[in-house]
Amino acid sequence: MKEKLLLIGDSGQLGTEWRYLFEKRGIPFTGVSSDKLDITDRQAVDALFDAERPDFVINCAAYTAVDEAEDNPELAMRVNRDGVRHLAEASARHDTVFVHYSTDYVFPGKKEDQSRYPRGYDEKASTEPVNQYGLSKLEGEKAIRETTDKHMIMRISWLNGVYGHNFIKTMLKLSRTKDEIKVVNDQFGSPTFAHNVVRNTVCLMQHGLHGTVHLSSGGLVNWYELAAEIMRVADSDTRIVPVTTKEFGVKAPRPYFSKLDTGFIRTFEGSRIINWQEGVQNLLRDPRLKLD
């Protein structure tokens, strides 16, 4: 890549994965963490774009606390809608391509949708979030589409990686001290892995894609099955106990089915969708993985 790259939110699990790629390949970029840039501050965003004048901006900044968003919907909207609009508007002024990550939680996740969309929700499926987090992310998507045509919105699901906080690392940490862990077995989808997200995003950027695309892993799984596979690969004796979402108890409603159809992204030469089991194995064997 010879273009000028601006990475927003470079200290989270996805942003750090991007940073690792750029540094490993010797690709120049400017990275800013959420501590250094508040995307809800329009003037700060404009000043950064005026100084950098990037060809591509990759936005990894987001409010991702699903349960907390139920109590703080205004904060979720300020970050995931208003902050994203500021980035999109700045991108439009500078003729910058805006790369943004959204979520499977923009969909309703009804049980009957598993039959209606056997391969998962495609990019044209109707959106209808069931929680405040999903609604704020959908509003962010709308803000981008209203503001700039030069955008790439990538919807991903159940993100896991070697950096930051995620389900797989949580399961591994809990297995150190617990004989059994209760995990819900009535939410179906597929995990996405940060390394695969970055690889496929680079592919689509090189193809010049503008629009919305779904990225996840192959196969369908629930959280209980995913946790059981983590324990198996990690050779852990910790027992995974299946429970319903109602029994587990969460503040924010969760979709029953949120699988994403990856048929579109597979049409691009150089893309690679891995099965979720391969993703788990790769992550647990990655030398960069640290739990402390």
What is the reported pLDDT for 292? 75
> CA-CA distances (angstroms) from residue 40 to 75, 79, 82?
10, 6, 6
Phi, psi of 177 (to 5 degrees): -125, -10
Closest by Cα among 56, 45, 27 to 201: 56
What is the reported pLDDT for 245? 96
In sequence order, the 6+-apart residues with CB closer than 8 A to the CB of 36 are none
What is the reported pLDDT for 129? 98
Catalytic residue chosen out of the listed positions 63, 101, 121, 133:
133
What is the reported pLDDT for 3? 83
Q: Which residues of the chain carry a pLDDT beneath 70?
A: 1-2
What pTM value is reported for the model?
0.96
pLDDT tens per residue across span 78-128: 999 999 999 999 999 999 999 999 999 999 999 999 999 999 999 999 999
What is the reported pLDDT for 2? 66
List the chain domain ranges. 5-166+191-218+258-274
Our answer to whether residue 256 is catalytic in this structure is no
Architecture of domain 5-166+191-218+258-274: 3-Layer(aba) Sandwich (3.40)
Query: How many Å apart are CA 159 and CA 15, to the nearest integer?
Result: 12
